[in-house]
Structure 1
Amino acid sequence: MTMSEQDTDTIRVLQGLENSSASVRLRTALAVGTTPDPRFIDTLVERCAIEPEFHVREMLTWALTRHPPSMTVPELLHEIRSERAQARSQALHTLSKIGDRRAWPAITRSLLTDADDEVARSAWRAAVALVPEGEEHALAGALTTQLGRGERETQLSLSRALIALGEVILPTLRAAMTHPRPHVRQHAIATERLLRDPDAGFEWAVEEAKRVVALEGAGREG
């Protein structure tokens, strides 16, 4: 391929990923992933930070996973320090899909407790995917500090992340069941119920936890 042909390809990809049509952006990301080319890694990462459509972002992530981790991971690690929340969230999501454990040291407590719920949820999933053997207990401790956070979807994400660690979570989870804040106790109890009975469903677990916390409160008042 000549230099002019390479330039033409680069312009075509840039224009495709910036096109006003989501379907064009989706097809462009699919094409880049189908025929991986390291020249486009930076462009894919940059687009992840601003792409408004979820399904296009998923295709961008897939395209990045098609490239060598030795080339993508350093770019993504730089991106998780971005001031833009979507850049951090999507980079963490992509790292979880790549699954290269060399990225583990970059999953810091500040990311696990990020003020943006989407960033925190992506960090939880990435942490569970990348945690090395022997670090699960420490990760469980960090994750349980977020119990009771956010709306139902955020709480479900945290419960799933904790449950993915297995029974190593039980000591810290049981400690959280005595937390002074009722909604933290409730979330801890619901997570424990779901760990014990994964088929029960989160809504059932939450309702059960509400009853337990309510009974505890009534017992104290009595």
Structure 2
Amino acid sequence: MSKDERVRTERMNVAIDGPAGAGKSTVARRVAGELGYVYVDTGAMYRAVTLAALRQGIEPDEADKLKALVASIRIELKPGEQGQTVYLNGEDVTEAIRSREVTLIVSPLAANESVRAKLVELQRTMASERGIVMDGRDIGTQVLPDAELKIFLTASVQIRAQRRYQELPEGQRIPLTQLEAEIAERDRSDEQREISPLICAKDAIVVDSSELTIDEVVAVIIDLSRSKLAEAK
């Protein structure tokens, strides 16, 4: 057996897609840790670009400026004490990219063709050595269509809104109904955009986390991962 064939049977790539607030990042990070794989949070990469655009006053519809921006910035993902640390041009922006300002415009900005082309190129390079758990909205359909295991993680709008509400600091909480409306609009935007819309891959396994704990979701995906690896040997 060649080295490449051995790597293929010992490691694989796991793609986890799903709508906003489904718990993809938390689950993907845990799955990667248990499998000994590298976790890649693609949403964080798009948020980093969004933060850079906000700082420079660039609007989502300013295509030429976004193309120049994404060509000039450097985004790095590194393991950190609290999980993954995100760097934008050498600056730790892990917390800054989770601001409400970024959240409200990341979807239309992520739909920009130049932004997606650049980040997809980076993501595919990261996954080329295998042993990657990557989450996002188009990983199984566009970024890593050959991933051995594809998961579509979802939950009801109401459950996702409640989770986001609990994540917000008490002084920054907004009405739950407003969060539900924003998440529903985010779903609509992600599903209807022309470039890489949110779609469940035909060969993806749907996992509804509405009534499951994080531990239970992680256990399901770990079991599926081990089954896939066993089949490959």
TM superposition score normalised by structure 2: 0.29
TM superposition score normalised by structure 1: 0.30
Which of the pair has the greater relative contact order for Cα pairs under 8 Å at 6+ separation? 2
Give the structure with the larger strand fraction: 2
